[in-house]
Amino acid sequence: MSDRVPKDLFIFHGFGACHAEWGRTQVSIDSNGKGLYEEGNGGLKLEDGQKGLLGDIEKSGFYNLNDSYHYPEVNDGGCEGIAITRNNSTKSVGVSNMVGPQAYERAAKIIIDMAENKTRS
């Protein structure tokens, strides 16, 4: 892992019902540590915590996942995804109608916990 945050870093995590009218939550964070938690609490600022966030996501195993996980037997379930751009490359993983692999769930928890902690403080 690099000691510096890539200038093009952008982390996105969205989740909720596959049908938008049922509600969704989205978290986005840029290389400056500015972000948006769109469930109701508004903006957040990491104060240089994005390097630690990126390191924790790397340790979660996120980068070893397939691009998509889908259970076709369900039509109206939940959909979610994580996309991380850095150094001109984007890794994205989508999960629909099922629980994601452990590495995905760990990465999602890291992002959501950070967003909730920063918007509460």
Give the DSSP letter of residue 20.
Answer: G
For the chain, what is the mean pLDDT? 86
In 3D space, the residue among 85, 103, 66, 79 whose CA is nearest the CA of residue 28 turns out to be 85
Is the Cβ–Cβ distance between 74 and 27 less than 8 Å? no
Instruction: Kindly list the distances between the CA atom of residue 31 and the CA atoms of 17, 54, 110, in Å, as whole numbers in the listed order.
Output: 28, 10, 17
Is the Cβ–Cβ distance between 41 and 32 less than 8 Å? no
pTM to 2 decimal places: 0.86
Domain ranges in the chain are 10-120
Instruction: Encode pLDDT of 61-83 as tens digits.
Output: 999 999 999 998 887 788 999 99
Rounded CA-CA distance 106/71 in Å is 20
Is the Cβ–Cβ distance between 111 and 57 less than 8 Å? yes
Q: What is the pLDDT of residue 3?
A: 66
Ranges 32-46, 80-94, 100-114: which has the least confidence: 32-46
Instruction: Encode pLDDT of 13-24 as tens digits.
Output: 999 887 656 678
Is the Cβ–Cβ distance between 6 and 31 less than 8 Å? yes
Rounded CA-CA distance 69/88 in Å is 24
Class of domain 10-120: alpha beta
Q: What is the pLDDT of residue 90?
A: 97
Rounded CA-CA distance 15/85 in Å is 18
Q: Can you tell me the mean pLDDT for 1-14?
A: 84
